Amino acid sequence: MADTTGSAALLGAGNPGDPNAGAGQPGASAPQPKPAPGGSWLDGIEDPDVKTWATKKEWKSPADALLSHRELEKRFSGEKVVVPKGEDDAIGWEAYFKAGGRPDTPEGYELDKLEGIDPENAKAVAAKFHELGLPAMSGKKLAGWLEEQRAQRAAREDEDFRQRSAAELADVRREWGGAYKAKEEAARRGAMLMGFDAPTLERIERVVGTKTMMERFAELGQKIGEAPARGVQQGGASAYMTPADADAKMNELQTDAAWVKRFTDGGAKERAEFDRLLKISVSGG
């Protein structure tokens, strides 16, 4: 029987095959956990928070983790962007904006290439973007979004106008009744006498409404049959105005935006002036 006492027993020499032999020796390292066959290299991480974080990174091996760390060091150890000291730090802000991607000039936003945008508006917007330090990419995307909003708003306004116009025209038809055709023709003559083209008529209609526009032009058209003889005296003046003079004056008034606005708003003075000129114009021109 083997002697298990004495120094041999203390050193474990009597049982060299014992896997625990020498476990209590000073300086002996603890066994390291190894991944089970088919397991992950992350299985050896004991801290659950660190293990969860590392798992989400989807690193396939420790080498992947080291490469990721190296890339971070390379990125953040390069040139730093200095934050301006304050609102008055003009040089600091210029450097900050440039580092952030602001183009050198407002033209660098290339807003004039956006579909549908007004060229003059594009210049003003680009200048403001440049002043505020927006990066080129952000400025272009923001301008595109603003243009989309403008187009959608215009489409809604057009639809509202069409619906209001249809409703007001229905009211006119109902109020005029059997006289609608005759008054509609009179309104057409009144519009022709004013010399307004279709876009101008639409602008007037949007301002005063379909019903008011139809009524005013119908009144003008009906006055054609009331014109006196050639050479009607001008409101008590000693001189007389010829039809050619009246036509010239009406053309002049049509270019006066303020006068047209007062007229379409029902201004009594403007309507009286137009009626007088119209009578002279149709009296023998």
pLDDT for res 222? 79
- Exposure of 109 in the CB half-sphere (CA atoms within 13 A): 28
| Same structural domain, 123 and 194 | no
| 37-46, 190-199, 228-237: the lowest-pLDDT one | 228-237
pLDDT for res 130? 94
Structural domain contains residue 103: yes
| Same structural domain, 148 and 183 | no
User: Rounded to an integer, what distance in angstroms lies between the CA atom of residue 106 and that of residue 164?
Assistant: 41
Section 247-269 average pLDDT: 87
**105: three-class secondary structure by DSSP:** coil
User: Rounded to an integer, what distance in angstroms lies between the CA atom of residue 79 and that of residue 93?
Assistant: 17
Structural domain contains residue 62: no
pLDDT for res 231? 41
User: Per-residue pLDDT for 225 more than 80?
Assistant: no
pLDDT for res 242? 66
Section 48-56 average pLDDT: 87
Given a contact cutoff of 8 angstroms between Cβ atoms, the answer to whether 240 and 231 are in contact is: yes
User: Rounded to an integer, what distance in angstroms lies between the CA atom of residue 193 and that of residue 205?
Assistant: 17
User: Per-residue pLDDT for 238 more than 50?
Assistant: no
| Same structural domain, 124 and 211 | no
Q: Which structural domain range is residue 212 located in? A: 178-282
Given a contact cutoff of 8 angstroms between Cβ atoms, the answer to whether 34 and 23 are in contact is: no
Structural domain contains residue 166: no
User: Rounded to an integer, what distance in angstroms lies between the CA atom of residue 275 and that of residue 270?
Assistant: 9
| Same structural domain, 202 and 147 | no
| Same structural domain, 182 and 149 | no
| Same structural domain, 146 and 187 | no
Q: What average pLDDT does the structure give for the chain?
A: 78
Given a contact cutoff of 8 angstroms between Cβ atoms, the answer to whether 61 and 41 are in contact is: yes
Section 213-224 average pLDDT: 85
| Same structural domain, 113 and 186 | no
pLDDT in tens, 71-113: 767 665 656 777 888 888 888 888 889 888 999 999 999 998 8
pLDDT in tens, 148-161: 999 999 999 999 99
pLDDT for res 91? 85
| Same structural domain, 191 and 276 | yes
| Same structural domain, 276 and 210 | yes
Structural domains of the chain, count: 2
| Same structural domain, 137 and 184 | no
Structural domain contains residue 255: yes
pLDDT for res 234? 41
| Same structural domain, 186 and 275 | yes
Structural domain contains residue 191: yes
User: Per-residue pLDDT for 13 more than 50?
Assistant: no
Structural domain contains residue 46: no
Q: Which of 138, 153, 168 is the last residue of a domain?
A: 153
Structural domain contains residue 208: yes
Q: Which of 153, 170, 204 is the last residue of a domain?
A: 153
Structural domain contains residue 256: yes
Q: What are the CB-based long-range contacts (under 8 Å, 24+) for 128-137?
A: 130/102, 130/103, 130/105, 130/106, 133/93, 133/96, 133/97, 133/100, 133/102, 134/102, 134/109, 135/100, 135/101, 135/102, 136/101, 136/102, 136/103, 136/108, 136/109, 136/110, 137/101
pTM higher than 0.75: no
| Same structural domain, 124 and 189 | no
